[in-house]
Amino acid sequence: MSADTLSPDVPARFGSGRSVPRIEDEGLLKGVGVYADDVQPAGLLRVAFVRSPHPHARIVSIDADSARGLPGVALVATGPELVRSGVKTLPVSADFKRAGGAAGATPLRPVLAHDRVRFVGEPVAIVVAETLQQARDAAEAVWVEYEELPAVVEIEPALQGGAPLCDEAPDNIAAEARYGDADRTRQAFADAAHVVRLAIRNQRVAALALEPRTVLAEVADDGRLTLRMSSQMPSGVRTTLCDVLGLTREQVRVTVGDVGGGFGMKTGAYPEDVAIAWCAWQLKRPLKWAADRSEEFLSSHHGRDVRTEAELALAADGRILALRLHSHANVGAYATGTGVAIQLLIGPWVQTSVYDIPLVDFHFHAVLTNTAPTGAYRGAGRPEAIYTMERLMDEAARQAGIDRVQLRRRNFIRPEQMPYRNPMGQTYDVGRFEHVMDQALAQADWDGFEARRARSQVGGQLRGLGIATFLEWTGGNALSERVTVNVRADDGVIEVFSAVNQMGQGIATTLAQLVVDVFGVPIERVRVVLGDTDRGDGFGSAGSRSLFTGGSALRQGAVQALEEARTLAARDLEASAQDLDYTDGRFRVRGTDLSIGLFEVAGKQPGQRIFLESSTTVAGPSWPNGCHVCEVEVDPATGVVRVVAYSSVNDVGRVVNPTIVRGQLDGGAVQGLGQALMEQMVYDPASGQPITGSLMDYAAPRTDIVDCPFVTSMDESTPCTNNPLGVKGVGELGTIGATPCVVNAVADALARGGHAGAAPRLEMPLTPVRLWTLLHGPAA
């Protein structure tokens, strides 16, 4: 096929709405993907960190002289040395307040701890050597004298009188937020026919990306500090590096290649990133650090860890009158901007979910403890909020004697109420929540459940049916994105750049399909370039924004580039641009046989290219929603839970690649199942030591977590109106729906099996020993 002779069915075969094979996969399946740890420049040095063994201690002294004299050691740096060289502390949350309007409180986070360590695993020194083993040996030779201090790792003890206190926050509360109308809500509860109360815990979990955090830093030939990282947000990392190290934006470049998962954990700069960059700047040699799994458990941001007292007031007919929450989130040793915002703002944005709730009274606290800081993890606040809401809805139905499906119908926001402004001031542009639920009930054969329960009962199993109806907010409120489109004659490709990033989710393929939509070329003619701050800045990939923000920007940029090409082609054909038809990569003068190919036009331009840079801003966030239904069997003799059916209908707006979207939904659901049934990051309350610090101790979901295939549908009937593609974010939706769906199913199984009193006391993860104890009482 020549450069300008294209198949007439190219857009139909490779454009939007088709399950095009992922263009990323061939290289990955052949083992030629390029992750940060795959790059091995000449003269590479390796890095190891000295980490605190204590949850809280004063650093009395650090002696690194012996380590510096060991074979192969190029540099040993400690916190005081970085401070003397001008390295600043990392940015902390600045926008939140404490009670009475005082500024939020948190210890400043050093790159390397030098005065005090505040959690097990906090970096204290960095060692650079010729080999990794030499670096690790030297790290063991660094002598740190500590004076141990009292520590606290859990929320409740941190808030009690006599608890070990953070100097910066004498009550261990970093920040708090209040929303709603407390007085009117109090009256609504007084007038309610039914009041439902639950104590709900969202346990701490680890992100557990397949590829650990990895950093390769060097000073390039042009004298600039260059980092290749496993990151979701290279521009944000560069900004932090510049601010902390005192460098200009022009002095730093951050690139990202293949990334083996992020889940929000790789959305910003860590202390290790800055320390490695500083060492590379000093040594002018390349150096690399790839975290081992234990380091990831110790020092990467964890997710969730929230305790909530939740109350729902209902009228006699089941209409919700008010919602009241009092929540405490364990944000760890340092109150990061994301860690605080997720629990005090982002989660609350969706707390009322798909329900028309007139009154709320929310009170949220961020609590400091001697644990690793929390941050973004798939869903980031929305899973916690939706779990609370859906547990309340099912328990309200049980206590009020109202069918739980009917209770939801009675309280759904109706389509005619759109656009709908919720009590947190967030505006849903569209939504047909009852329509989605009706599809899900039919797909799951809701009405046929009793027959299936009877069969399980014959086998001695308690069978339960769970449901979750919900929405989420996507976009990170970073609603603008920049792209470049480059039609290249030299190699006959359309090269596009976006600041969103691939991390296993298939975004490069989806972006390429959007280019095919506009230009009508085979997908092989599209080259997607991502992850390079020299090519362009942008927010990156987080908050399920890659397609609805980044994709919208790319679509608009491609349209503008095609119109520029049309103008240039008209000049060459001596015709009006309005008289040109464009199909299959070729412009034709209407009614004649005159034509010119897209790449031929590019070849006539300076540089043999048509290049366009553009920025697009979408009108607002997207609000994907869904209804997930699952069935479980609980073995009362062992407490083991089996997920025996799982079905979902998901309103994600327009679908560009159904296979990729389904993979995101199902993969997210597995992570939600993991939290519901097995995952938990545990610290020993007495010693402050992580108990689940390896994959031998932390229970991660495997392929056998379900005993059934997922039945997953996408409803495209309600496109988003806030972006030109009509798409809605999808990456986190499955995680948000799965956790309450499974726990509600277990609660239903217990209630149907004569253990209704146990249902409100369910606490994740629903491990066999926890459920057995709930059913039978503590073992003698």
Q: Which residues pair with 254 in a beta bridge?
A: 227
What backbone phi and psi angles, to 5 degrees, belong to 556? Answer: -65, -40
Distance between CA atoms of 658 and 678, rounded to whole angstroms? 30
Q: What is the CA radius of gyration of the chain?
A: 28
Q: Could you state, in order of their start, the residue ranges of all structural domains in the chain? A: 10-33+476-617, 38-149+208-299, 302-474+621-776
Could you tell me whether strands 214-219 and 287-290 are parallel, antiparallel, or unpaired per DSSP bridges? antiparallel
Q: Which tokens hold the place of 615? A: 């920025």
Looking at residue 520, its pLDDT comes to 94
Residues 6+ apart with CB under 8 A from 239: 249
Query: What's the mean pLDDT in 610-626?
Result: 93
Q: Which residues pair with 596 in a beta bridge?
A: 587
pLDDT tens by residue, 685-732: 999 999 999 999 999 998 888 889 999 999 999 999 999 999 999 999
Q: Do domains 10-33+476-617 and 38-149+208-299 have the same CATH topology?
A: no
Confirm if 239 and 185 have CB atoms less than 8 A apart: no
pLDDT at 14 over 90: no
Give the distance from CA 297 to its chain's centroid: 17
Helix (H) or strand (E) holding 599: helix 598-603
pLDDT tens by residue, 104-124: 999 999 999 999 999 999 999
Band (381; pLDDT cuts 50, 70, 90): very high
Confirm if 765 and 743 have CB atoms less than 8 A apart: no
Peptide bond into 419 cis (omega under 30): yes
Q: Which tokens hold the place of 492? A: 């006959």
Confirm if 629 and 648 have CB atoms less than 8 A apart: yes
In CATH, what number does 38-149+208-299 get? 3.90.1170.50
Band (659; pLDDT cuts 50, 70, 90): very high
DSSP state of 516: H
DSSP state of 169: B
CA-to-CA separations, 757 to 308, 325, 748, in angstroms, rounded? 20, 22, 11
Looking at residue 12, its pLDDT comes to 65
Residues 6+ apart with CB under 8 A from 392: 196, 198, 310, 312, 323
Looking at residue 4, its pLDDT comes to 40
Distance between CA atoms of 329 and 363, rounded to whole angstroms? 11
Query: What's the mean pLDDT in 664-687?
Result: 97
Distance between CA atoms of 344 and 117, rounded to whole angstroms? 26
CA 377-619-527 angle, 5° bins: 70
Distance between CA atoms of 523 and 515, rounded to whole angstroms? 8
DSSP state of 546: I
Could you tell me whether strands 252-256 and 225-229 are parallel, antiparallel, or unpaired per DSSP bridges? parallel
What backbone phi and psi angles, to 5 degrees, belong to 501? Answer: -130, 150
What backbone phi and psi angles, to 5 degrees, belong to 527? Answer: -120, 120
pLDDT at 657 over 80: yes
pLDDT at 2 over 50: no
Band (79; pLDDT cuts 50, 70, 90): very high
Maximum pairwise Cα distance, the chain: 93
Confirm if 343 and 367 have CB atoms less than 8 A apart: no
Taking the CB of residue 690, how many other CB atoms lie within 10 A of it? 25
pLDDT at 343 over 70: yes
Distance between CA atoms of 167 and 333, rounded to whole angstroms? 12
Burial 278-314 (b: 16+ CB within 10 A, else e): bbbbebebbbbbbbeeebbbbbbbbbbbbbbebbbbb
Which fold is adopted by the domain 10-33+476-617? Aldehyde Oxidoreductase; domain 4 (3.30.365)
pLDDT at 6 over 50: no
Burial 351-378 (b: 16+ CB within 10 A, else e): bbbbbbbebbbbbbbbbbbbbbbbbbbb
Q: Which of 396, 373, 392 is nearest to 384 (CA)?
A: 392
Distance between CA atoms of 534 and 532, rounded to whole angstroms? 5
pLDDT at 40 over 90: yes
Distance between CA atoms of 434 and 411, rounded to whole angstroms? 10
Q: Which tokens hold the place of 624? A: 């994907």
Helices (H), 638-778: 658-677, 733-752, 768-776
Q: Which of 30, 156, 134 is nearest to 73 (CA)?
A: 134
Terminal Cα-to-Cα distance of the chain (whole angstroms) = 77
Band (10; pLDDT cuts 50, 70, 90): low
Give percent helix, percent strand, percent coil of the chain, each to the nearest 5.
35, 25, 40
What backbone phi and psi angles, to 5 degrees, belong to 565? Answer: -65, -35
Place of tokens 């009550």: 171
The structure's pTM equals: 0.95
Distance between CA atoms of 608 and 362, rounded to whole angstroms? 59
For the chain, what is the mean pLDDT? 94
Q: Which of 347, 353, 351, 389 is nearest to 366 (CA)?
A: 347
pLDDT tens by residue, 217-240: 999 999 999 999 999 999 999 999
pLDDT at 243 over 60: yes
The CATH architecture one would assign to domain 302-474+621-776 is: 2-Layer Sandwich (3.30)
Burial class of residue 537, CB neighbours in 10 A (0-12, 13-18, 19+): middle
Looking at residue 475, its pLDDT comes to 80
Band (551; pLDDT cuts 50, 70, 90): confident
Looking at residue 550, its pLDDT comes to 87
Query: What's the mean pLDDT in 355-367?
Result: 98
Lowest model confidence (mean pLDDT) among 85-99, 302-316, 432-446, 537-551: 537-551
Q: Which tokens hold the place of 712? A: 């997953």
Helix/strand/coil (H, E, C) string of 619-661? CCCECCEEEEEEEEEECCCCCCEEEEEEEEEEECECCCCHHHH
Distance between CA atoms of 759 and 768, rounded to whole angstroms? 15
Q: Between 3 and 182, name the one with better pLDDT.
A: 182
pLDDT at 161 over 90: no
Query: What's the mean pLDDT in 237-256?
Result: 96
Distance between CA atoms of 500 and 234, rounded to whole angstroms? 9
Amino acid letter, 264: G
Could you tell me whether strands 123-129 and 427-428 are parallel, antiparallel, or unpaired per DSSP bridges? unpaired
Place of tokens 């809805």: 393
Confirm if 165 and 265 have CB atoms less than 8 A apart: no
Distance between CA atoms of 363 and 325, rounded to whole angstroms? 6
Band (538; pLDDT cuts 50, 70, 90): confident
pLDDT tens by residue, 86-101: 999 998 866 788 888 8
3-state SS class at 5? coil
Distance between CA atoms of 273 and 449, rounded to whole angstroms? 52
